[in-house]
Amino acid sequence: MLRIGLLGAGRIGHVHARAISAHPQSELIAVADVVKESASKLAAQYGVEARSNEDIIGDAAIDAVLIATSTNTHSDLIESVTRAGKAVLCEKPVDLSLARAQACRNAVAATKRPVMIGFNRRFDPNFAALKAAVDRGEIGKSELLSITSFDPAPPPVSYVKVSGGLFRDMMIHDFDMACWMMGSLPQKVTAIGTSIVDPEIGKAGDVDTAVVTLTFANGRIAVIKNSRRASYGYDQRIEFLGSEGLLSAGNVLENTVSKATKAGVVSAKPEYFFLERYMRSYAAEWAAFVEAVTNASAVPVTLDDGVNALAVAEAATLSAKSGTTVDIASVMK
C-alpha cells in the first residue's frame, strides 16, 4: 500500500484525491494547501489530516507526493519532495520557465527518485487506443498528425495573467500528445496566435486562439489548433494520417442518443470540460503511477517528457511573438 500526501486542494487536487482514495493500493494520508481552509475541507471529505507542505514532505511514513499546486510552485516542490526520498506525480507544466524546469530535472537526477508528469490525456482510452494502433503499424508510416483542442469557455483574465500563456498552460497537453504520437521532439515550431475571443486576454499579453505547426524528422508534420471558446463544449479530436490509412478519435458525447427527422440528424454535445471528458484518464494515470512505483519500474510519463513539452511551448511562444519559425535546438541549449 502506497501512502500518499497531496499538495494543492484546488480544482485538480479534488480529482486526484478521489483517484488516490479509489485505488486499492494507495491510501491518502494528508492534504496541504497554502489556503488552510481549502486543505481542511478536502481532508475532511476523505477523513484524513490537513497538514503543511513541510509536514508532509518531512514525514518518513509517506511514500509518494502528488503535487497539484499552482504551476509556479512545481519545480521547487518536486525538488523538495525528491530530496526527501519520495516519489512524485506532479501536474503539468513542470514550470513556467524552461531553464528552471531543466535545472529541476538535473537536481532530481541526483536523487534517483521517480517523477511522473500529469499528461493525463495519454491515459484517455480513445487516445491510448489510437497510439497503440500507430505503434502496431496499422497506418503504415506516420505522416500528418492533426490535433484539435478547444475549451468550452475562456478562463478569467486573472487566471490568464499567471498561467504562463496559452502555449505553456493549455497547448502543452497537445505538445506532449504530438511528441508522444510521433515518438520524438519536433525540429521546428511555427505558431500563430490571436485574441479574437476576448480582447482582454490580448491586453494581458496572451492569445486565446492559436495554430501551431510542428515539423519532425523525415518531413513529418503535426498541426495543433487551440481555442479558448467552443460554444458547443469541449472539442477534443485527433486524426493521424499514415501511408496506409487514417486513424481518428472523435469527441466523447454527453449521451449516445441521436434524433433523425426531416430537419436533419442531431446528437448530444461533447462532454462539457476536462473534469467530465477526462475523468477516466485521471484514474488510469494514477493507476500507472502506483504500478510503476510499486514495481520500481519506469514511470510512463517522465520529467524529460515534461521538459520537452515545455521546450516546444517556449518555441511556440517565441514563434508567435516574432512571426518566424523557431528551431527547437535554439531553445533547448
> How far apart are alpha carbons 22 and 178 in whole angstroms?
30
Beta strands in the chain (DSSP E): 2-7, 26-32, 49-50, 64-67, 87-91, 115-118, 142-150, 188-194, 209-215, 221-227, 235-242, 245-249, 258-261, 264-267, 326-327
Least CB distance to ligand NAD at residue 20 (A): 15
Among 53, 148, 190, 209, binds ligand NAD (CB under 6 A): 53
Stretch that binds ligand NAD, among 34-42, 185-193, 242-250, 301-309 (CB under 6 A): 34-42
Strand-pair category, 264-267 with 26-32:
unpaired
Q: Give the contact letters, 130-149, x = binds to ligand NAD (CB under 6 A), - = no.
A: --------------------
Among 240, 274, 286, 289, binds ligand NAD (CB under 6 A): 274
* DSSP SS3 for 153: coil
Among 4, 9, 17, 160, binds ligand NAD (CB under 6 A): 9
Least CB distance to ligand NAD at residue 333 (A): 26
**DSSP label at residue 120:** G
Give whichever of 10 and 202 is closer to ligand NAD, judged by the CB atom.
10
Among 6, 26, 33, 190, binds ligand NAD (CB under 6 A): 33
> How far apart are alpha carbons 281 and 75 in whole angstroms?
24
Residue 70 in contact with ligand NAD, rule: CB under 6 A: yes
Give whichever of 71 and 308 is closer to ligand NAD, judged by the CB atom.
71
* Three cell numbers, residue 89: 506525480
Least CB distance to ligand NAD at residue 196 (A): 24
- Enumerate residues 6+ apart whose C-beta is below 8 A from 50: 30, 31, 32, 33, 36, 39, 40, 42, 43, 44
Q: State which of positions 75-94 bind ligand NAD (CB under 6 A).
A: 91-92
Residue 32 in contact with ligand NAD, rule: CB under 6 A: yes
Sheet with 64-67: list strands edge to edge: 49-50, 26-32, 2-7, 64-67, 87-91, 115-118
- At residue 271, what is the residue type? E
Least CB distance to ligand NAD at residue 164 (A): 9
Give whichever of 59 and 138 is closer to ligand NAD, judged by the CB atom.
59
Least CB distance to ligand NAD at residue 140 (A): 32
Query: With the C-alpha atoms ordered 89, 95, 99, 103, is the resulting torsion angle positive or negative?
Result: negative
Among 5, 75, 88, 118, binds ligand NAD (CB under 6 A): 118
Least CB distance to ligand NAD at residue 26 (A): 18
> How far apart are alpha carbons 167 and 208 in whole angstroms?
10
Stretch that binds ligand NAD, among 5-13, 224-232, 250-258, 292-300 (CB under 6 A): 5-13
Give whichever of 63 and 95 is closer to ligand NAD, judged by the CB atom.
95
- Enumerate residues 6+ apart whose C-beta is below 8 A from 22: 283
Residue 166 in contact with ligand NAD, rule: CB under 6 A: no
Q: Tell me, rounded to whole angstroms, the distance of Cα 107 from its chain centroid.
A: 22
Inter-residue contact 147 to 178 (CB < 8 Å): yes
Residue 10 in contact with ligand NAD, rule: CB under 6 A: yes
Least CB distance to ligand NAD at residue 286 (A): 12
Query: With the C-alpha atoms ordered 200, 202, 204, 207, is the resulting torsion angle positive or negative?
Result: positive
Binding site for ligand NAD (CB under 6 A): 7-13, 32-35, 38, 53, 68-71, 73, 91-92, 118, 120, 274
